[in-house]
Amino acid sequence: MAIQAGPLFPLPSVPLIKRNTSDVIVIGAGIVGLAAAHALLLAGKSVRIVERSEPGVGQSTRTGGGIRLAHGSDINVKLAQLSLPTWLHFEKLFGINPHYQETGHLFLTSKDTKGLTTQAGLLDSLGVNYDSLDKVGITRRWPALASTDFTDGNYCKVGGYLDQHRVIRGYVQTVQAGGVHLELHTRVDGVIRDGARVIGVQTSEGSFTSETVINAAGPHAGEISTLAGQEIPFISRRHELLLLHRTAGIPENIPWLIDIDHQVHMRPDGSGRALVGGFLGHDEPDDPDDYDPALSEPWSTSVREQASRSFRLSRPDAPVVGGWAGLYPGTVDYLPVLEKSMPGLITAAGFSGTGLMHAPAVGRIVADLIDGGSTFDLDISALRSSRFDGKQIVTDSTGF
Ligand SMILES: Cc1cc2nc3c(=O)[nH]c(=O)nc-3n(C[C@H](O)[C@H](O)[C@H](O)COP(=O)(O)OP(=O)(O)OC[C@H]3O[C@@H](n4cnc5c(N)ncnc54)[C@H](O)[C@@H]3O)c2cc1C
């Protein structure tokens, strides 16, 4: 496939990768690793991705495909803003239509107006267009929500969802066509150091060396950090999604609805069905090597009951087409670690529920961390792992 070079990413000529060495090794072919590899390719680096399975089989194809600008922390809003152009131009850049659907997104509350006010302040300060709505405003726009208890909402017209499988395919095809080597079914089980500097990885298929190693191992990022001799407190939390059958009758013209009081969300899926998710106030850590990826009946029952109480669009026993579980690969404060962790090692992991929507910006920041560039005027100091050494940590107040 020819590389689709759009105006955002002019392609330089890329040095050929040598047999066991490259400028950069990326650990993990999830969305974060692939976006980093793509940005590094554009920066003229030779790149090898080492993936223990297949691209996207970690958490990146277990997402709901959600893209939104409204978040509860400054850095999350900025990363979403900087990534949005890639989603809007994805087909031109990567040659595959990601089936992006612009539903908009609506954060709702009947009691946490402080949370929405904080979010509104962030959106104002960062120039994001949104509407702050009261009960009347919500009902006027979406009469289907008239009987809900919500008193306030923040509505962003942009954002929605896309098909994460097509996104992964677009990235894989593009980076491969550009010369990135994908070492699949190859597990990193050692990090090679020369003194204080990381100079490569040991894998199930032998050793590879590089100037820089990127830890983009998603929920397994903590293991890679440990192999390198650093402890970062990554935490993965199980998160489920289910699809309501179209006979549930969810209107197609509603935005992505997010009830911050009860931590449940719902959106139409474009074919008469609706995707429903949420922690419901529970987000216990789970083991990345031993979590159950199947939809659990108790959660399925509870989330449909809560979605029914919150949005009043479906019955508590609405029919389910199917569902699945995955992990939010995160940290205690739900924000990622994005930093030069030690000489030769960059960490880009722990993106909780935002890894897909933030990946394009993260990829370019990773490339900048290597080159000392500054594509974006963005302070990422809030994402250093050293924040866990003290008590002052930023949190994303929305819980999503
Ligand atoms: C149910 C659910 C819904 C979600 N919804 C959204 C959403 O709507 N929008 C959004 O933006 N995000 C969403 N997320 C979050 C999103 O899925 C993650 O933030 C994102 O996928 C993280 O990407 P990643 O590349 O860091 O991790 P992963 O996709 O997990 O990739 C890490 C890769 O590293 C590989 N790996 C691990 N260890 C090794 C090793 N030792 N050697 C070699 N390879 C290794 C793994 O095999 C894997 O492929 C959701 C998550 C879940 C579970």
Quote the ligand 1 centre to 35 CA distance (angstroms). 12
Q: What is the pLDDT of residue 13?
A: 61
Is the pLDDT assigned to residue 400 strictly greater than 80? no
* pLDDT more than 90, % of the chain: 89
pTM of the model: 0.95
Q: Whose CA is nearest to atom 7 of ligand 1?
A: 66
Q: Name the one residue in this structure whose structure tokens are 């990534």.
A: 83
Q: Extract the tokens encoding 216.
A: 């983009």
Cα–Cα separations (whole angstroms), residue 316 to 43, 166, 243, 282, 320: 51, 32, 14, 19, 11
d(CA 129, CA 276): 26
Query: What residues have CB less than 8 Å from 67, skipping those under 6 apart?
Result: 80, 83, 84, 87, 100, 159, 160, 161, 162, 356, 357
* Higher local confidence (pLDDT), 398 or 316: 316
Q: 217: CA distance to ligand 1 center in Å?
A: 8
45 CB under 6 A from ligand 1?
A: no
Distances (CA, A) of 244 to 65, 264, 272, 320: 16, 14, 9, 4
Q: How remote is the CA of residue 52 from the centroid of ligand 1, in Å?
A: 13
Q: pLDDT tens-digit profile of 113-131?
A: 999 999 999 999 999 999 9
Nearest CA to ligand 1 atom 14: 353
d(CA 261, CA 240): 18
Range from 13-22, 51-60, 85-94 carrying the lowest mean pLDDT: 13-22
How confident is the model at residue 102, as a pLDDT?
96
Q: How far is the CA of 224 from the centre of ligand 1 (A)?
A: 15
Residue 42 has what pLDDT?
A: 96
- pLDDT beyond 80 at 56: yes
**Of 150 and 6, which is predicted with more confidence?**
150
Confidence of residue 19 (pLDDT cuts 50, 70, 90): confident
Question: What is the model's pLDDT at position 281?
Answer: 85
| Domains defined for the chain, CATH in brackets | 21-61+165-233+333-389 (3.50.50.60), 102-158+235-331 (3.30.9.10)
166 lines ligand 1 (CB under 6 A): no
Structure tokens given for 92 = 């031109």
Q: Is the Cβ–Cβ distance between 398 and 119 less than 8 Å?
A: yes
pLDDT over threshold 80, residue 4? no
CA 370, chain centre distance (Å):
22
pLDDT, tens digit (0-9, with 9 covering 90-100), for 202-259: 999 999 999 999 999 999 999 999 999 999 999 999 999 999 999 999 999 999 999 9
Residue 338 confidence (pLDDT) above 50: yes
d(CA 280, CA 258): 12
What six digits make up the tokens of 213? 């190693």
Tell me how far apart the alpha carbons of residues 353 and 355 are, in angstroms, rounded to a whole number. Answer: 6
Instruction: Please check whether residue 82 is in contact with residue 52, taking contact to mean a CB–CB distance below 8 angstroms.
Output: no
Is residue 95 a contact partner of residue 173, using CB atoms and an 8 Å limit? Answer: yes
**Ligand 1 center from residue 221 Cα (angstroms):** 10
Supply the residue whose CA is at minimum distance from atom 27 of ligand 1.
Answer: 218
Ligand 1 pocket test: pick from 38, 59, 358 the residue with the most ligand atoms within 8 Å of its Cβ.
59
* 136-140, 299-303, 389-393, range with the lowest pLDDT: 389-393
Closest CA to 234 of 249, 246, 247, 223: 223
Q: Ligand 1, residue 58: give the atom nearest the CA.
A: 30
* CA angle, residues 321, 281, 219, in degrees to nearest 5: 75
Compute the average pLDDT of residues 106-116. Answer: 94
**Token pair 């009043």: residue:** 312
For ligand 1, what atom is nearest to the CA of residue 358? 11
Instruction: List, for residues 292-301, the tens digit of each pLDDT value.
Output: 999 999 999 9
Residues 80 and 50: beta-carbon distance below 8 Å: no
- Give the β-pairing of 197-203 and 206-215: antiparallel
Pocket probe for ligand 1: among 227, 356, 357, 362, the residue whose CB has the most ligand atoms within 8 Å is 356
| Rounded-to-integer distance, Cα 131 and Cα 153, Å | 8
Instruction: Answer yes or no: is the C-beta of 220 below 6 A from any ligand 1 atom.
Output: yes
Residue 28, ligand 1, Cβ within 6 A: yes
- DSSP class of 151: -
The phi and psi torsions of 360 (rounded to 5 degrees) equal -60, -45
Residue 30 Cβ contacting ligand 1 at under 6 Å:
yes
Closest CA to 264 of 252, 282, 286: 282
